[in-house]
Amino acid sequence: MARLNLWRWGVLGLAGLYFLVPLAASVVFTVDVPGQGLTFDAYTQIFSTEGFASSLLLSLELALATIALVLLLMVPAMVALRLGAPRLRPVVEVVCSLPLVVPPIAFVAGIGTVLKWGPEHLSRTPLFQTFVAIQNPDFPFVLVLAYVVMALPFVHRALDAGLRAIDVRTLVEAARSCGASWPQALAQAVLPNLRGALLNASFLTLALVLGEFTVAQLLGFQPFAVWIVNVSGSQAQLSVAVSVLSLLVTWVLLLVLAGFGGRTRTTSRG
Amino acid sequence: MTATAVRVDTAPAAAVKRRRRSLGSLAVVPLLVFTALAFGLPALAMLDGAFTVKDPSTGATSYSADNLTASLQGAYLTALLGSVKLSAVSAALGALLGLPLAQAVVTSRFPALREAVLTASGVLANFGGVPLAFAFVATLGNAGVLTRHLGLTDKGWDLYSFWGLVLVYLYFLIPLMVLTITPALDGLRSQWREAAQNNGATTVQYWRHVALPVLLPTLLGGFVLLFGSAFAAYATAAAMVGSSVPLVTLQIADALSGNVLVGQENVALALSLDMVLVAGLVMAVYLPLQRRSARWLA
Amino acid sequence: MTVLDKTAAGTAEDAATQAATVEFRGLRREFGPTVALDGLDLTVRPGELLALLGPSGCGKTTALRMLAGFEHPDSGAVLVDGEDVSDIPAHRRDAGMVFQSYSLFPHLSALDNVAFGLRMRKVRTAERRARAAELLELVGLAEKGERYPHQLSGGQQQRIALARALALRPRVLLLDEPLSALDAKVRLTLREEIRRLQRELGITTLFVTHDQEEALSMADRVAVMRSGRLEQCAAPAELYGRPATAFVAEFVGTMSRIPGRIVEGGVEVLGRRLPVDGDVPPVTDVDVLVRPEAVAVRADEASDARVVATAFLGATTRLTVRLADGTEVKADLPAHEGAALGAGAAVSVSLPERPVLVAERRH
């Protein structure tokens, strides 16, 4: 038994070393600048640095739009699959796993090609205006489209887990037999029971959008992750400070969520 | 009397069922239409572009496999192979190191430790990217804290080398492995260990004859998943500017933005197609393994 | 004689002569604040099937797992044929165990599951396949050897588990609620099957269960446990007919409590004086414990007692009668007599002229 514990603590210790040292070293890196000694400039400068607020705001807006759109698309579809269209289930499953087969960089290569059709073939049609509109640098809706696709696998997994834990059909039938209309049954009986899954899906999507770099950079927009990279050339300390902060914030957010999810999971298992 | 009652009952029931089914299909339609546009269109564009060749003098386009051929030659081939090698090595290491860590977490008696490790794994495995690269640059880059304090450059250390990238990739691959294998380890029933002991098996024999064979599909599946994840990674490598390791994702990005040569967009699309094929292969191996382990460990 | 020799020679007759005696001596085990075993003393005779019966948490499974080597006592000892086995690791205990459920290795066929132990002992392939096939035949699944656990029903899986437990010709067979995860029908057939096999092999067997009917119908002797201690160990008939304690009386079978008063030479209950069986508690106000089949009920318009519920059980009907003082008594009547007495009927209740058990009154 003692030997077993020794082994476990050895493994956990080594893992802790590997995973914590870069974080700790990053903190040291940001406050202990060669030639300047101990300084917290990197942190105090964050807010005043050109582009921080606007890029973070853009990322948050994109995240909200993505969450809204992906839930609007997925929740009705997933609930409907449980209720009345089981034959479409494999179809949706495949559709939601496809983004896993296409790496983001390949995906963005395809998007870039489609966007180029605008000026090349459609310049005389009203569709052209749409192409211009979704590439508005103030709010590039094309990124929302891409992020919704990229979030599909995560959202599908989260919602599927949530729906698996409850018996949607019985819930709806019970609500209906108590006199609820269809929309009432869904809103009052099904959605409240999916709260954990919806929160989970939203947070995963939020984290995905906040950290996304590939698509945004290659399409030439500047949300948060791209801004960090762009600013790193001139202000190395600052970019590391923001990186570490963003990692920690995501982690804490998800940990809070896991607290929620953990409780619902144990109750549904019992 | 009963017969008619039944008949009267079934007719509306069938209608309700039909209506419900069509309503159900209706709710799925927006999702399918959306993916067809937002995902299908770019995918088709990629496929189309990968096979399209543009004559520079006339501007006329024609279909051919030239781009694909080009994408499997010279610097592109080197990059593709470099990506495969980096992904294979770091996936193998990630799988081997993730297993004992997951086992240590699963057998721990502290639920808080387990929750913290799994959540951290979720963050690092999926959303590391840029922050991760900068953390390593700050730690082990040329001006990194450890590099300076330990004088690692003199000892031949270079973060921007093959093994440097492996070290960075492991930072999100090990967590991904932990996430993948934890449910399987949870699924290993205590009865199996006890039944094995009861049949005269030592601890080593139990792992050799029961635990590892039962975990094998998950382990292989995990390796394949890690491979796919490492293969697709771009942000980490891109943020670590100055990497001398040729990677297919970097090549695609360069070709797309016309960094190296103008007019290479279609080769980039062909390279993307190569990547999709590799990733598709990964999934084709992963899914059956996943299904088998789900059956054993349910 | 090594295990392998036994494997090769093994026939029912010599197994019976080798059957082991198992003794638990003063076993104690605490898990944090809960006491799982609180000084358990019990002896299992060679070749008998002994059922460990008790409510969940009474320590019966812990005792079994100590014999298998999965748990270790804080104090006390487990003896097999007079030898202390406490220091022998689980994989050399020589005790075959059948678990509650899901214990088959999912990646091995039924045959390979049964042959697993022989493989661990490095028995040659041909020999162990032959032996495993023999065991599959013994549990009636000769033709299912190539199936995997997920292709077998719950009952079939437990038969395979039984065959696997017997593969190394253990000296003791341990059954840890092997039937509790099965359907009622399958449970009945498998019950008989296990009993038949155990008799044929003459192997000393411990059977843990919380189902008293299972224990009474299968076991040679039943040990009733409560809070880590042995309450009574006796043959089923004796346990049912002459329970040593009020706990046993009420845990095994159905018992009604009727208030009575200790008087000179017996107990006064339902207006008559009956002799007391067993110990008399040092108080006057007691409860008399009666089985439903011992209670006589007849229609009596003059009585204050009323039938409050009836349950048709096939050959008998079980009546629940509320006496004038509010006490409820259960009584079994032949179905044709019971049919005449519906809920609300006025009846009188009486006991036969036989010694009765008494217990301190419960409040």
What is the predicted ipTM?
0.82
Per-residue pLDDT, C335: 86
Is pLDDT of B5 > 50? no
**Tens of pLDDT along C194-243?**
999 999 999 999 999 999 889 999 999 999 999 999 999 999 999 988 88
Q: Are residues C219 and C353 in the same domain?
A: no
Nearest to C99 among B195, B201, B297 (CB): B195
Spatial CB neighbours of B24, under 8 Å, sequence gap ≥ 6: A80, A81, A83, A84, A85, A88
Flag whether C146 is in a domain.
Answer: no
Q: Are residues C10 and C58 in the same domain?
A: yes
Which residues of C lie inside 8 Å of B (Cβ-Cβ)?
68-70, 89-93, 95-97, 99-107, 116-117, 119-121, 150, 161, 164-165, 167-168
- Bigger pLDDT: A253 vs B9: A253
Contact between A21 and B104 using a beta-carbon 8 Å cutoff: no
Spatial CB neighbours of B177, under 8 Å, sequence gap ≥ 6: B94, B95, B97, B98, B99, B101, B102, B222, B226
The pTM assigned to this predicted structure is: 0.78
CATH number at residue C222: 3.40.50.300
SS3 call for A97: helix
Strands C316-322 and C328-334: antiparallel
Is pLDDT of B239 > 50? yes
A195-211 and A141-165 helices, crossing angle to 10°: 150
How far apart (Å, rounded) are the C-alpha atoms in residues B13 and B4? Answer: 14
Q: Are residues C66 and C202 in the same domain?
A: yes
Both tokens of residue B213?
């064979």
Q: How many beta-carbon pairs under 8 angstroms link A with B? A: 255
Contact between C95 and B198 using a beta-carbon 8 Å cutoff: yes
Give the CA radius of gyration of chain B: 26
Per-residue pLDDT, B16: 60
CA distance A246 to chain B (A): 7
Per-residue pLDDT, B7: 45
Helix (H) or strand (E) holding B250: helix B248-256
Residues of C in contact with B209 (CB under 8 A): 116, 119-120
Spatial CB neighbours of B22, under 8 Å, sequence gap ≥ 6: none
Q: Are residues C44 and C191 in the same domain?
A: yes
Contact between A85 and B25 using a beta-carbon 8 Å cutoff: yes
Nearest to A11 among B44, B101, B135 (CB): B101
Per-residue pLDDT, B262: 54
Residue pointed to by tokens 């489609």: A114
Contact between C116 and B198 using a beta-carbon 8 Å cutoff: no
Which candidate in B192, B199, B291 is best for mutational testing of the C interface (most C CBs within 10 A)?
Answer: B199
Q: Are residues C234 and C325 in the same domain?
A: no
DSSP for residue B207: I
CA distance B140 to chain A (A): 8
Q: Are residues C42 and C79 in the same domain?
A: yes
Which candidate in B101, B107, B127 is best for mutational testing of the A interface (most A CBs within 10 A)?
Answer: B127
Per-residue pLDDT, C2: 40
Contact between A91 and B32 using a beta-carbon 8 Å cutoff: yes
What mean pLDDT is predicted for residues C142-151?
A: 91
Residues of C in contact with B205 (CB under 8 A): 120
Contact between B194 and C99 using a beta-carbon 8 Å cutoff: yes
Is pLDDT of B108 > 90? no
List of chains touching A (3+ CB pairs within 8 A): B
Q: Are residues C209 and C305 in the same domain?
A: no
**Tens of pLDDT along C161-204?**
999 999 989 999 999 999 988 888 899 999 999 999 999 999 99
CA distance C188 to chain B (A): 24
Residues of C in contact with B194 (CB under 8 A): 68, 70, 90, 97, 99, 103
Nearest to C120 among B189, B192, B199 (CB): B199
**Tens of pLDDT along B163-222?**
988 999 999 899 989 988 888 888 888 889 999 999 999 989 999 999 988 888 888 888
SS3 call for B164: helix
Nearest to C102 among B189, B205, B210 (CB): B189
Looking at C246, C265, C283, the residue that finishes a domain is C246
CA-wise closest residue to B170 among B134, B215, B136? B136
**Tens of pLDDT along A49-108?**
888 888 889 998 999 999 999 999 999 899 888 887 678 888 888 888 888 888 899 999
Nearest to C102 among B191, B201, B210 (CB): B191
B248-256 and A104-121 helices, crossing angle to 10°: 10
Q: Are residues C324 and C184 in the same domain?
A: no
Flag whether C77 is in a domain.
Answer: yes
Query: Total domain count for chain C?
Result: 2
Looking at domain A61-222, its CATH superfamily turns out to be: MetI-like (1.10.3720.10)
Contact between B200 and C91 using a beta-carbon 8 Å cutoff: yes
What mean pLDDT is predicted for residues C78-104?
A: 89
What mean pLDDT is predicted for residues C29-39?
A: 89
**Tens of pLDDT along C93-131?**
889 999 988 789 988 999 999 999 999 988 899 999 999
| Average confidence score pLDDT of chain A | 82
**Tens of pLDDT along A173-194?**
888 888 888 788 888 888 888 8
Per-residue pLDDT, A235: 79
Q: Are residues C180 and C60 in the same domain?
A: yes
Beta-strand ranges (E) seen in chain C are 22-31, 34-44, 49-53, 75-80, 83-84, 95-98, 172-176, 204-209, 221-226, 229-234, 256-263, 266-269, 272-274, 285-290, 296-299, 305-312, 316-322, 328-334, 346-350, 357-360
Which residues of B lie inside 8 Å of C (Cβ-Cβ)?
189, 191-192, 194-202, 205, 209-210, 213-214, 216, 295-297
How far apart (Å, rounded) are the C-alpha atoms in residues A241 and A61? Answer: 23
What mean pLDDT is predicted for residues A121-148?
A: 81
| Average confidence score pLDDT of chain C | 88
Contact between B214 and C105 using a beta-carbon 8 Å cutoff: yes
Nearest to B31 among A30, A73, A99 (CB): A73
Contact between B145 and A105 using a beta-carbon 8 Å cutoff: no
Q: Are residues C184 and C265 in the same domain?
A: no
Length of chain A: 270
Distance of CA B192 to the CA centre of its chain: 31
Q: Phi then psi for C356, rounded to 5 degrees? A: -120, 160
Q: How many beta-carbon pairs under 8 angstroms link B with C? A: 75
Both tokens of residue B275?
């990547």
Contact between A80 and B24 using a beta-carbon 8 Å cutoff: yes
Is pLDDT of B4 > 60? no
Both tokens of residue C100?
């509650």
Per-residue pLDDT, A52: 84
Residues of B in contact with C105 (CB under 8 A): 192, 195-196, 210, 214
Flag whether C122 is in a domain.
Answer: no
Looking at residue B195, its amino acid is A
Contact between B139 and A73 using a beta-carbon 8 Å cutoff: no
Flag whether C156 is in a domain.
Answer: no
How far apart (Å, rounded) are the C-alpha atoms in residues B75 and B80? Answer: 9
Is pLDDT of C349 > 60? yes
Is pLDDT of C51 > 60? yes
Is pLDDT of C16 > 50? no
Is pLDDT of A269 > 50? no
What mean pLDDT is predicted for residues C322-342?
A: 88
Looking at C230, C246, C262, the residue that finishes a domain is C246
Is pLDDT of C290 > 70? yes
Strands C272-274 and C266-269: antiparallel
Per-residue pLDDT, A270: 27
HSE toward the beta carbon, residue C165, CA cutoff 13 A = 34
Per-residue pLDDT, C97: 93
Nearest to A109 among B28, B132, B268 (CB): B268
Per-residue pLDDT, B116: 79
Per-residue pLDDT, C236: 93
CA-wise closest residue to C44 among C190, C203, C243, C165? C203
Both tokens of residue A77?
């579809």
* pLDDT confidence tier of residue B235, bands split at 50, 70 and 90: confident
Residues of C in contact with B296 (CB under 8 A): 106-107, 150
CA-wise closest residue to C351 among C319, C329, C334, C320? C329
Number of other CB atoms surrounding residue C241 within 10 Å: 12
Both tokens of residue B257?
């933005």
Nearest residue of B to residue C168 by CA position? B199
CATH number at residue C311: 2.40.50.140
Looking at C226, C246, C266, the residue that finishes a domain is C246
Q: Are residues C259 and C237 in the same domain?
A: no
CA distance B295 to chain C (A): 8
Are C and A touching by the rule of 3+ CB pairs within 8 Å?
no
* pLDDT confidence tier of residue B14, bands split at 50, 70 and 90: low
Is residue B200 within 8 A of residue C121, CB to CB? The reply is yes
**What is the domain range of residue C76?**
3-94+168-246
Lowest mean pLDDT among A52-61, A244-253, C65-74: A244-253
Q: Are residues C259 and C327 in the same domain?
A: yes
How far apart (Å, rounded) are the C-alpha atoms in residues B256 and A109? Answer: 7
How far apart (Å, rounded) are the C-alpha atoms in residues A46 and A29? Answer: 15
Burial B249-268 (b: 16+ CB within 10 A, else e): bbbbbbbbeeeeeeebbbbb
DSSP for residue B202: -
Is pLDDT of A2 > 80? no
Contact between B126 and A106 using a beta-carbon 8 Å cutoff: no
| Average confidence score pLDDT of chain B | 82
